[in-house]
Structure 1
Amino acid sequence: MAKAQKKQALGRGLSALLKDPENDIQSSSDKNADKVIGNVVELDLASIEVNPFQPRTKFNDDALEELASSIRELGIIQPITVRKLDFNKYQLVSGERRYRASKMVGLETIPAYIRIANDQESLEMALVENIQRQDLDPIEIALSYQRLIDEIKITQEKLSDRVGKKRSTITNYLRLLKLHPSIQNSMRDGDVSMGHGRALINIDKEKDQLQIFDRVVRSGLSVRATENLVKAYKNSDNKIQNIKSSKSSIPEFIIKNIDSIKKNLDVKVDISANADGKGKITIPFNSEKEFKRLKKILAGD
């Protein structure tokens, strides 16, 4: 405990140093820069702005509330990373969830690592760190990869080394950006998975891609069933009207009732079944709070 208090006191001391106009550190060669760069500093939340290069655009409210509760009880365990913009003005590089949750709790300061970087370096740091640390949806990851390639002028081979992913993995993500925007949005909302998207991308004709996508959503098809549907389409000379119902198609009694199940539970429900009516229902949840809510509904409490 004494060590933690000493570290926190040091952070506050460095914070006071940064607020002194005579110590306006702009580069690593400036006076006292070595005392700040690489160390944890307590910064005013009001002095930090959100990074416009942040690839994450959606934040789960339940997950933020859980993080806020954890911060309220235990404090910030992992400091955020910021870059210096001007005197006592900073911009997030990584850690926006911690930043948002801290504001929810009502904290006035937050521990942070300070970096001095230009916009391109900041973009690269933000994208790479978020790809590695955050639970981005497939489209956000794909957009992050594409931005690194376009704006940092990096090849897929070098990107593979930078983010620690196989080149084939990066290619699979990038291909998702060729899907129709409505399919991309459904992936971002969690209505269909990356597996569904990878299957649908094999359909070149946009109109047919959307029609098959609509069938996948309406019938609640699994990834395997979607792959079979696309295969049937390809084997029918790319004529959607020639696709016959396969044994993996969802039975009519499920199609008629799936919407009422989703509406009652208020979550996306994944149902897979064969023509004989044998299958399974998968109900996802994102937090303990949501799990208890679902349990209460299913138990009829």
Structure 2
Amino acid sequence: MSTSPTTEGQATTTAPEATKDAGKIVARTIPVSAILPDPDQPREHFDEEKLNELAASMKKLGQLESIAVRVGPKGTYLLIAGERRWRAAQIAGITKLRANVHLGVADGDPMTLAKQVAENVARADMTPMEEAKAFKRLVDAEYSVEEVAEMCGKSAAYVGWRIDLLKLAPAVQDAVAKGHLPVNLAWYVAQLAHDNQVRFLSRWVRGDFPAARDAEAFAQACATEEKRQAEQGAMFVLADAEEAAQALADDGQEPLFAQLSDDEQERITVERKKLLGKIDRMSEIGTVLSEIATMEPGELALLLAGAPGGLAAQRQRITHLQSLAVKANKSLRDAQMAAAVRAGGTQVAPETSTEDAQDSTAINHA
């Protein structure tokens, strides 16, 4: 590994000297043993396999990019950027690293944190929860969401979504950090009260949902029900996973229907009959689509090429039906999850748990 000239005296730069030269950046080669990790480093987890790969690369090719450090106490340096390279160097047995030393940087300097966050986000090395915490610290340091987004090369919406993950209960945050809960789904779960987040996680781990989209719809339905119950002065609590599995299996139709007044039950019975009649007629469309799907292309061309609008117009009609079918399927999925939520939860009356209900309302409006 090639290194630039240095003297051991350069490794003993003191804080007063750094303060005097505030804002300067000097290139030095410093002992790995004199470098310390920054306690404010936004990244918390380092992939051991990837570190070993980087160590093997550095051992063979040398250090390709300088690290960034600031002056620490008693002849040490604190990392600003390049902790993976520093860790890999130790694995590879490399004793010195090239570094850009930032002089006059104080503890807790927001620009230092911004550089650390930007570097790690750009390398896609941070977990979603590490990003969330880092973005929040930058916002707390009085950077706007838009400024954080610009520094890190992300959209303002992305930064906001990540910060929203901090509303997750600790157990759920841990599941996201370990990859046990998809980050997109986690955002929907973050809108729930903490207790319901944990109960939801239990169901997800059990495999109670056919797909992530179903789980997202279920979480959205839970959030809607929490809000509805809170407006009535009560708290919505999800049932245990075993009861939830049964609720998902039967769509929760009977419990939903039983909650209605006699007049509403009568109205729903009439409207249900009308809707089912319309859905039954869809079989005619299915028969036509099946026939078209199995026809020989040449024959289909002969039949429709000379029709008004030609083949393009007929294909456009099918495409329109396909788009409507996708939307209808989503509505049915959302309805299925809403039914399961209503059937798979319990309502805590305000007179039995006023404090809990208030806490739930506060969480949902945080």
**Shorter-chain TM band:** 0.5 to 0.7
Q: 1:173 aligns with which of 159, 162, 184?
A: 162
Maintained 8 Å contact 2:167/2:191: no
Aligned twin of 2:119: 129
Question: Structure 1, residues 214-235: CA drift from partner, whole Å, max 9, x if none?
Answer: 1011117442121122244456
TM-aligned CA distance change 1:206 to 1:16, over 3 Å:
closer
Query: Which amino acid in the other structure matches residue 116 of structure 2?
Result: A
Pick which of 112-121 and 124-133 moved more: 124-133
- 1:240-259 map, 5 Å: 240=238, 244-245=247-248
RMSD: 3.1
Q: 2:10 aligns with which of 4, 18, 36?
A: 18
Aligned twin of 2:87: 100
SS in 2 for 1:59: coil
The answer to whether the aligner puts 1:147 opposite 2:140 as a matched pair is no
Query: Which amino acid in the other structure matches residue 90 of structure 2?
Result: K
Partner Cα distance (1:42, 1:247) in 2: 68
Query: Which amino acid in the other structure matches residue 215 of structure 1?
Result: R
Partner Cα distance (1:20, 1:206) in 2: 49
Maintained 8 Å contact 2:10/2:30: no
TM-aligned CA distance change 1:62 to 1:234, over 3 Å:
same
Maintained 8 Å contact 1:131/1:144: no
Partner Cα distance (1:231, 1:200) in 2: 8
Larger proportion of helix: 2
TM-aligned CA distance change 1:247 to 1:28, over 3 Å:
farther
Higher relative contact order (CA 8 A, sep 6+): 2
Deviation of 1:210 (Å): 1.8
Aligned twin of 2:194: 206
Partner Cα distance (1:69, 1:220) in 2: 43
Maintained 8 Å contact 2:11/2:31: no
TM-aligned CA distance change 1:235 to 1:184, over 3 Å:
closer
Question: Structure 1, residues 169-213: CA drift from partner, whole Å, max 9, x if none?
Answer: 11100110001110000111111121120121232x332222122
SS in 2 for 1:245: helix
SS in 1 for 2:71: strand
Maintained 8 Å contact 2:12/2:76: no
Maintained 8 Å contact 2:114/2:151: no
> Can you give the 5+ residue segments of structure 1 that lack an aligned partner in the other structure?
249-301
TM-score by length of 2: 0.56
Deviation of 1:69 (Å): 1.1
The percent of aligned pairs where both chains have the same amino acid is 24
Maintained 8 Å contact 2:11/2:76: no
Query: Which amino acid in the other structure matches residue 177 of structure 2?
Result: R
Structure 1 residue ranges, 4+ long, deviating more than 4 angstroms after superposition = 19-22, 27-30, 234-239
Query: Which amino acid in the other structure matches residue 197 of structure 2?
Result: Q
TM-score by length of 1: 0.67
Aligned twin of 1:274: none
